[in-house]
């Protein structure tokens, strides 16, 4: 009984939730999983929404809770799911974000060049599968969409996966943007399986519409909020500057694991190699990184004698962020030119260093999974129809388009 | 101070709300207003959603609370609203539903032929204006859209009025259909005035999209839920049968006020006439009607010796509702013919009485205000643009179309 | 599957709840149960808290939902509960309030003299048991505490029964008195069985303390709120006056069922007798009464030529309630005498009729189950200890005392 | 208007809140205040309640919001509060936690010996007061209780201060322990001033009772939860070991600011001295510390060659916490002796190092402000009475007692 009790968790979003058992529980207790406690789900978003400091750990447990609800619903509709598959689906969702590093939406390509968090997730899954004597095999198959019952993969990754259902609701909860709330309860009750694919019962169509609209609202109000973009881009430039200095062998304070990735260029194929630090492989070293390393290191850079690094660090840490403009159109060349001249004068910058003071670029809703793949509605007569055709009100083609915005960001007062 | 305290109200939806003061408070205390406590907002919807028993009284106070928030927001944006206008807008919203009778969405044209609740509202407003020595004059002007500052009328009645903002949120709350929740807080904070018209600040566009989608969801999941339609239509036929019998001078138990309207045909021009009951005018008699009269009377009709009246009453009271089919297409003639034959046999009905056992017709979202009139978004550059053009995702023309569904409803087992 | 869907219900308090199945579902569909839809849980409390119009129907389904949670929890702790017992416990809770009539806390002894709602509940249970061919036998045994597994009765009726857990939470929800919220989830998870008795696991002791304090708060802030008492007492006097007139053969408008109880004095032994109305027994006639009969009838009495009846009816219906004073001490005789003199003058009353204008008496927290019977806490070492001894902070003897307050109520302006 | 908008904040607990303006806003923007974003309110509590990662920044803004509600309430009750006092009270609450360092409940006496966070708060206030040209003078007076209107200090620090009202509600929200929720709205509406002291209107007495019980529940369920204590004590020992090693000149990785406090012993009088790092004073260096320094440094210690430091660090970071026993009684000497022998064998420890594997001590509810000072209830007759005398149910003397528990904590498997 005492054991039982251990496994109930208070989640502010769903209330009491049961922790998964057996190997899933062991997985959660592993240090590589526990590390997700130290990685915020939404990076620097808390600079706009102070409550948005929830972690990938919380999100993953939440998604795992929704997975049990979904699997139970499907079973109640006579979908055949063996106990082994049930557990594997659990593990697959527990592992789906395991490759995330600190501030991964911003730093994915800064810390480790050319390696996505999905690549890293797979590397970690294989690593853990060895540790767990091959018991994660089916979970990995599900994750890779190599398992025959495709709907299990779709629960982990698709237009209506439990990942999104949890993160939209959780991000909405912790940011306080209550309009983003998604009726995950009802959507899950409407899930069904048809020809091995995940579908939605006809009665659920309005809930799906609302889910799509809530998601869109969250993009613009949270994920691509202009101040969040300003903070993200500042962080990216800051890391870039640090790597630039590191490449020039300039000394930078950093925690050992972070130092390794600052001073070394790592490729996918290097992950299993020894890092030269203690006995760790590069992958194991990566597993030691979290938000604390980044922030603790940046804080010290405020005192660094490289003016640019110091300036950027100070701006970020003290939330004295750059001003940002965000628009659909390309920015006027003349405007940019004027800004450049002014910045060069005010900060005595050479051409080269301007890029740290005038941040230019494009942001898109890519990172947050636009609508690719469809959502099938199961009609009462047993036929399937795509939501894009059922819904007379939504222009769903819009949702599937990557929306891009141009930004221009520079110190206040310029 | 004690007086102050009296005027704070616990509202399950918004928490503590301040009761309006002065003449608005006296208005609330008037018996014609108090009667709204005895009229459910959503008629028989509680047969599907047991919690949906909230009253027009609650809704009206809620809308009045939102009105103060909206007026305060506008004032904070330097919109000029005098104290007199402030109070009048309050009164206008307090009076906006004053003409509703019991189950008015179903019975509007059964109890009093050809008189809408809007007509009745105006009659009551004039009646009360006399009682309050003309102090409701400006409120009535606002209600009728005859007041120069049009935005005040638009707060009471338009695509984004506080009426809708309250009822969508309240209906969502009490039905438990949490997906219908509308971010009334945020929408109100985004309201503004431009050229005397109510507009929405640019930042609010996603909230508006969500509001429109939530409304649509409420239509289909609540207001036009098939079982709600079945109950409504049953009630309409039941009243029709009662009036038919009354026209034939058959004796029917009813409360005196209800009896008057069963046995008399009333036109708009009759409302100020004496009813012959006590000293009451027809309008005053109407003000005595509420849900209790209808239900208490119908209950006794279960024992009436008219088989049809008794059958319908029993079905309604014991929630042994007719089966209902609801579809976009016209029903197949053959199907209807077969049903008729079967019903005539099973219930030994003549042609004439079939209409009480085979309910046919069309329901539309008319009653709940489809999108007529536009919602203007105030761009940052000061220009206006219709939401239909701003929103790339919503096919707003769809929302403005009256959607109709054909229904066919008949006793279970047929 | 369609059947399944029918049985999910939206409850504003708990979200989606599963409707009980089998005979329990049939029970809910029975007209005697459906009638609970028309009886408010808190009588006239909505005159103070406008949201408090929830019904005994909602409460009973809510309690039934908590019963399943409690039974599932106990089973998970290896308490032996057969499927038959599970269903019977369900039925027992569904039936626990079946004997309530309209405004029963006020009218229990006005409509039917000397018969409590518990007596009536038993009568209805036996009546329904015949209808259901004896299938409610075990449920009735549980209700009467004649079933060997006493904890099943205690779930229905004891200090920590699901009845209270639901009504406190529900009353708190609908009144908007959020402080009354009870952690029913956690308390239920802490339930256990020891020696056939319901007990609470040691970890639950603080939740119990909070439950008791929340209950106390609800007494004073809601159940015995002075304006609620004023309305209740006015209704009691009003019914008394009506019965007095009825006894004098004065004609009073009332629905037939209500009329029967106004003009006849009924005893427990009469319930199975024929009423003389149609073919109904007295009990069946009682089952036809609900809030609508009372309110619809009282509304007509406003026009009655008995001044007292008319005055009281008008005060009640238009919420022009008497002023009330509520205090621990007996009221000063002199004060009462002065009031009487004034009232007699102002209303030209004789001594006899004064009782309708100066309402005197005592209210107590009796009606809402003070703390009788104890709550046992299961220590980690397996021994039991009463909450009164575990809790060092609560003076529990206080909770078990009936608290009485004297009231004095009379028309405003006196 | 754009400026206005900047100052609305989404708080998951209260919804939209207005940011304070003027100097208060500048204060919030100062780096010393911004640093509170990086200090968790509840230290390691997230090891039990994963949601409990909210920060002192969020809490402080929440308390500041409640302060405006309280001040507005008092003004509406004709309590005289000038605009200057209003702003000063705001600033006082904004500054009340400014002296907190990382994990301050655990590390208060580890990082800086003998200096409490209250001492540090005062130091920071004076520091900031210079920065703001003396404009914080009145705020500091209020904080120190040197301002004549004592109720202003009591709003910042007393039995019913807005600090507690916020943290109880916020901690309850983020832990998901919904039973700890406090009716801050209602309590604030009941505040009043009598003879310059903060009092509670008579109607609020039940809310106060509930507040006290909720607080007690939070102590035992959250603040002194045994696993939280286990984590806290582990962290304390870990820091102790680190300082021990530092005293022996053993090299330890740490961020520069943290390194300073590990290798130096600091007294209150040293705070204004130069630290020798850059040009910072000791106080300024302290202001650079936050949770990131501690965690980032401890993570590296896992690889340290001091076995004890490494063992403790690994346990903490991977949440492989020690087992803990918590009880009222002193632990049996024999039991302790046996444990010691076993631990010495299993870990080959000398007498000296045992203290890092067998953690002994006492925890008390001291840190979280037991009931000292009273809560005065303002009776209707204008007299004051202590809640301890008004409440017949609470043994308030219990709440004012420091409750102590003995703990014994050691590696699992022992």
pLDDT tens, position by position, C5-51: 447 899 999 988 988 889 999 999 999 999 999 999 999 999 999 99
Closest residue in A to B182 (Cα–Cα): A179
Report the pLDDT value the prediction gives residue C298, as an integer from 0 to 100: 98
Contacts (Cβ under 8 Å, ≥6 apart) of C334:
none
Give the pLDDT mean for A89-95: 97
Distance (Å) of CA B162 to CA B42, B178, B198, B201, B224 = 18, 19, 12, 17, 22
Q: If you average pLDDT over residues A376-385, what whole number do you get?
A: 88
Name the pTM for this structure: 0.91
Of the ranges A269-273, C227-231, C377-381, the best mean pLDDT one: C227-231
Of B186, B207, B395, the CB nearest to A393: B395
Least confident of B211-215, B408-412, D131-135, D287-291: B211-215
Q: Is the pLDDT of residue A85 over 80?
A: yes
Asked if D76's CB is within 8 angstroms of B4's CB, the reply is yes
Contacts for B4 with CB less than 8 Å, ≥ 6 apart: D76
Give the confidence band of A2 by pLDDT, cuts at 50, 70, 90.
very low
Please state the rounded mean pLDDT for residues D376-404: 78
Q: What are the pLDDT digits (tens) for D173-221? A: 999 988 777 778 889 999 999 999 999 999 888 888 888 888 888 888 9
Buried b (16+ CB within 10 A) or exposed e, B252-280: bbbbbbbbbbbeeebeeebbeeebebeeb
Tell me which of C284 and D402 has the higher pLDDT: C284
Instruction: Determine whether the interchain pair A8/C189 forms a contact, defined as Cβ–Cβ distance below 8 Å.
Output: yes
Among chain D residues, CA nearest to A291: D292
pLDDT over 90 (residue D274) = yes
Shortest alpha-carbon distance between residue D189 and chain C (Å): 14
Helices A291-301 + A307-317 axis angle, to 10:
120
**How far off is chain C from D204, nearest CA to CA, in Å?**
10
**Of D113 and C228, which is predicted with more confidence?**
C228
Calculate mean pLDDT across residues A306-315: 98
Q: Are D229 and D326 in contact (CB under 8 A)?
A: yes
Q: Which of B16, B185, B186 sits opposite D189 (nearest CB)?
A: B16
Give the pair of three-digit tokens for residue A286. Answer: 């990566």
Instruction: Flag if B12 and C54 touch (Cβ within 8 Å).
Output: no
Long-range contacts of range C282-288, CB-CB < 8 Å, 24 or more positions apart? C283/C120, C283/C123, C283/C124, C283/C127, C285/C257, C285/C260, C285/C261, C286/C101, C286/C112, C286/C120, C286/C257, C286/C261, C287/C31, C287/C32, C287/C35, C287/C124, C288/B299, C288/C35, C288/C257
- Smallest CA-to-CA distance from A46 within A123, A5, A103, A125 is with A103
Average pLDDT over residues B165-183: 88
User: Which long-range contacts does D347-356 make (Cβ < 8 Å, 24+ apart)?
Assistant: D347/D411, D353/D308, D355/D237, D356/D237, D356/D241, D356/D308, D356/D311, D356/D312
Q: Does pLDDT of B264 surpass 60?
A: yes
**Of C4, C15, C77, Cβ closest to residue A185:** C15
Highest mean pLDDT among B394-403, D360-369, D381-390: D381-390
Chain B residues within 8 angstroms (CB to CB) of chain D:
1, 4-5, 8, 15-16, 76-77, 185-186, 189, 203
D interface with B, Cβ–Cβ < 8 A, is 1, 4-5, 8, 15-16, 76-77, 185-186, 189, 203
Q: How far is CA D320 from the centre of its chain?
A: 25
In angstroms, the separation between the Cα of residue D55 and the nearest Cα of chain B is 25
Report chain B residues whose CB lies below 8 A from the CB of D11. Answer: none
A203 contacts in chain C (CB < 8 Å): 5
User: How would you classify the pairing of strands A197-201 and A376-378?
Assistant: parallel
Lowest-confidence range among B48-62, B164-178, C112-126? C112-126
Q: What is the pLDDT of residue A400?
A: 67
Q: Which of C43, C48, C93, C49 is nearest to C67 (CA)?
A: C93
Q: Which residue of B has its CA nearest to A397?
A: B393
Are B214 and A210 inside 8 Å of each other by CB? yes
Q: Do A186 and C76 touch (CB under 8 A)?
A: no
pLDDT at A359: 97
Mention every residue, 6+ apart, whose C-beta is less than 8 A from residue C246. C252, C262, C263
Q: What tokens does B237 get?
A: 């036929």
**A1–C189 C-beta distance less than 8 A:** no
* Residue A58 pLDDT greater than 60, yes or no: yes
What contacts B334, CB < 8 A, 6 or more positions away?
A: none
Which of D48, D172, D213, D388 has the highest number of chain C CBs within 10 A, making it the mutation to test binding with C? D213
Instruction: Give B399's pLDDT tier (boundaries 50, 70, 90).
Output: low
Decide if pLDDT at B97 tops 80.
yes
Q: What is the residue whose two structure tokens read 């929800």?
A: C173
Determine contact, residues A38/A46, Cβ cutoff 8 Å: no
Q: What is the pLDDT of residues A108-153, one digit of tens each?
A: 767 777 788 888 999 999 999 999 999 999 999 999 999 999 999 9
Contact between A186 and C16 using a beta-carbon 8 Å cutoff = yes
Residue C65 has pLDDT above 90, yes or no: yes
Shortest CA gap D178–chain C (Å): 7
- Residue-averaged pLDDT of chain C: 91
Q: Output C295 or A402, whichever has higher pLDDT.
A: C295
Mean pLDDT of D288-302: 97
Predicted pLDDT of residue B54: 97
Please classify residue D158 by burial: count the beta carbons closer than 10 Å to its beta carbon, then call 0-12 exposed, 13-18 middle and 19+ buried.
buried
Give the residue carrying structure tokens 């539309």: B364
Kindly state the average pLDDT of the residues A211-223. Answer: 87
Give the one of B8, B77, B185 whose C-beta lies nearest to D15's C-beta: B185
What does the block give as tokens for C172? 């708190």
Beta strands in A328-369 (DSSP E): 359-364
Tokens of C294: 């009372």
Look up residue B382 and give its DSSP letter. Answer: S
Nearest residue of chain B to residue C293 (CA atoms)? B296
Q: Is the pLDDT of residue B165 over 70?
A: yes
Chain A residue with CA closest to B187: the answer is A179
Report the pLDDT value the prediction gives residue D2, as an integer from 0 to 100. 33
Within 10 A of A8 (CB to CB), how many other CB atoms are there?
12
Tell me which chain C residues have a C-beta less than 8 angstroms from the C-beta of A4: 76
CA distances from B398 to A208, B299, B326, B387, D110 (A): 17, 42, 20, 13, 66
Confidence of residue C375 (pLDDT cuts 50, 70, 90): confident
Q: What is the pLDDT of residue B3?
A: 36
Q: What is the pLDDT of residue B159?
A: 87
Q: How far apart are CA D322 and CA D320, in angstroms?
A: 7
Tokens of B383: 């220009």
Q: Is the CB of residue C312 less than 8 Å from the CB of residue C239? A: no
> Which residue from D12, D293, D303 is facing A176, i.e. has the nearest CB?
D12
CA distance D374 to chain A (A): 33
Average pLDDT of chain A, as a whole number: 90
Nearest CA in chain A to C380: A2
Write the pLDDT tens digit of every residue in B317-356: 999 999 999 998 999 999 999 999 999 999 999 999 999 9
Confidence (pLDDT) at D5: 43
Is A65's pLDDT higher than 70?
Answer: yes
Least trusted range by pLDDT, from C172-176, D19-23, D63-67: D19-23
Interstrand relation of C376-378 and C197-201 (parallel, antiparallel or unpaired): parallel
**Would you call D15 and B203 a contact, using CB atoms and an 8 Å cutoff?**
no
Q: What is the pLDDT of residue B4?
A: 41
Q: Tell me which residue of B362, B351, B240, B207 sits closest to B306, measured CA to CA.
A: B240
> Which chain A residue lies closest to D320 (C-alpha atoms)?
A29
Continuous segment of H or E residues that includes residue C108: helix C104-111
Distances (CA, A) of B230 to B44, B236, B316, B406: 10, 10, 10, 12
**What pLDDT was estimated at residue C302?**
97
Question: Whose CA is closest to D6, among B390, A47, A360?
Answer: A47
- Which candidate in A173, A202, A213, A387 is best for mutational testing of the B interface (most B CBs within 10 A)? A213
Instruction: Tell me if residue C394 falls in helix, strand or coil.
Output: strand
Verify whether the Cβ–Cβ distance B185 to D1 is below 8 Å.
no
Least confident of C286-290, D101-105, D144-148, D195-199: D101-105
Given an 8 Å threshold on Cβ–Cβ distance, is B394 in contact with A394? yes
D6: pLDDT confidence band, cut at 50, 70 and 90? very low
Q: Are residues C291 and C38 in contact, defined by beta-carbon separation less than 8 angstroms?
A: yes
The H-or-E segment that residue D38 falls in is none
In the structure encoding, which two tokens stand for residue A218, read together? Answer: 């969250």
Supply the Cα-derived Rg of chain A in whole angstroms: 23
Residue A47, classed as helix, strand or coil, is: helix
Residue B119 above 90 pLDDT? no
The DSSP H or E segment spanning D71 is helix D56-76
Reference D248, options D266, D230, D262; nearest CA is: D262
Choice between D85 and D181, residue whose per-residue pLDDT is larger: D85
Residue written as token pair 């994990």: D103
**pLDDT above 60 (res B296):** yes
Chain C residues whose beta carbon lies within 8 Å of the beta carbon of residue B31: 317-318
- Residue A262 CB neighbours (<10 A): 18
Question: Distance from C402 to chain B by nearest Cα, in Å?
Answer: 28
Model confidence pLDDT, tens digit, residues B11-42: 999 988 988 889 999 999 999 999 999 999 99
Q: Do D206 and C216 touch (CB under 8 A)?
A: yes
pLDDT of residue B86: 97
Q: What is the pLDDT of residue C398?
A: 67
Residue B193, pLDDT above cutoff 70: yes
Nearest to B393 among A178, A183, A216 (CB): A216
Closest residue by Cα to residue D223 from D167, D182, D185, D184: D167
Mean pLDDT of A145-166: 95
By C-alpha distance, which of D92, D80, D73, D93 is closest to D204?
D73
Of the two residues D9 and A181, the one the predictor is more confident about is: D9
pLDDT in tens, C251-278: 999 999 999 999 998 888 899 999 989 8
pLDDT above 90: percentage of residues in chain C: 71
């Amino acid at each position: 009984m005492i054991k039982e009790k251990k496994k109930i968790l208070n989640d502010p979003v769903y209330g009491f939730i049961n922790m998964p058992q057996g190997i899933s529980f062991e997985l959660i207790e592993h240090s590589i999983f526990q590390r997700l406690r130290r990685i915020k789900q939404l990076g620097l978003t808390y600079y706009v929404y102070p409550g948005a400091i929830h972690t990938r750990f919380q999100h993953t447990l939440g998604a795992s809770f929704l997975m049990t609800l979904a699997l139970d619903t499907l079973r109640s509709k006579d979908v055949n799911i063996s106990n082994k598959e049930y557990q594997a689906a659990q593990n697959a969702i527990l592992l789906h974000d395991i490759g995330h590093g600190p501030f991964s939406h911003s730093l994915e390509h800064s810390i480790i060049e050319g390696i996505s968090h999905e690549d890293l997730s797979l590397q970690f899954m294989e690593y853990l599968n060895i540790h767990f004597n091959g018991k994660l095999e089916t979970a990995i198959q599900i994750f890779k969409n190599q398992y025959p019952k495709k709907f299990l993969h779709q629960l982990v990754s698709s237009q209506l996966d439990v990942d999104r259902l949890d993160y939209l609701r959780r991000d909405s909860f912790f940011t306080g943007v209550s309009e983003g709330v998604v009726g995950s309860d009802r959507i899950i009750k409407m899930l069904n399986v048809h020809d091995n694919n995940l579908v939605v019962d006809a009665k659920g169509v309005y809930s799906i519409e609302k889910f799509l609209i809530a998601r869109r609202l969250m993009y613009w109000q949270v994920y691509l909020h202009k101040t969040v973009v300003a903070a993200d881009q500042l962080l990216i430039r800051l890391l870039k500057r640090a790597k630039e200095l590191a490449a020039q062998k300039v000394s930078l304070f950093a925690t050992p694991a972070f130092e390794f990735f600052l001073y070394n260029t790592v490729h996918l194929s290097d992950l299993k190699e020894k890092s030269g630090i203690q006995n760790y492989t590069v992958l194991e070293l990566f597993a030691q990184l979290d938000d604390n390393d980044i922030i603790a290191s940046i804080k010290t850079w405020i005192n660094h004698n490289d003016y640019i690094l110091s300036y950027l660090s100070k701006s970020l840490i003290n939330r004295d962020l750059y001003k940002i403009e965000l628009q659909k159109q390309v920015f006027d060349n003349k405007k940019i030119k004027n800004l450049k001249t002014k910045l060069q004068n005010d900060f005595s910058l050479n051409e080269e260093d301007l890029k740290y003071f005038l941040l230019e670029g494009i942001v898109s809703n890519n990172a947050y999974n636009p609508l690719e793949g469809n959502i099938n509605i199961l009609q009462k007569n047993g036929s399937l129809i795509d939501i894009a055709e059922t819904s007379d009100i939504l222009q769903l083609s819009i949702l599937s388009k990557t929306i891009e915005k141009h930004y221009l960001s520079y110190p206040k007062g310029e």
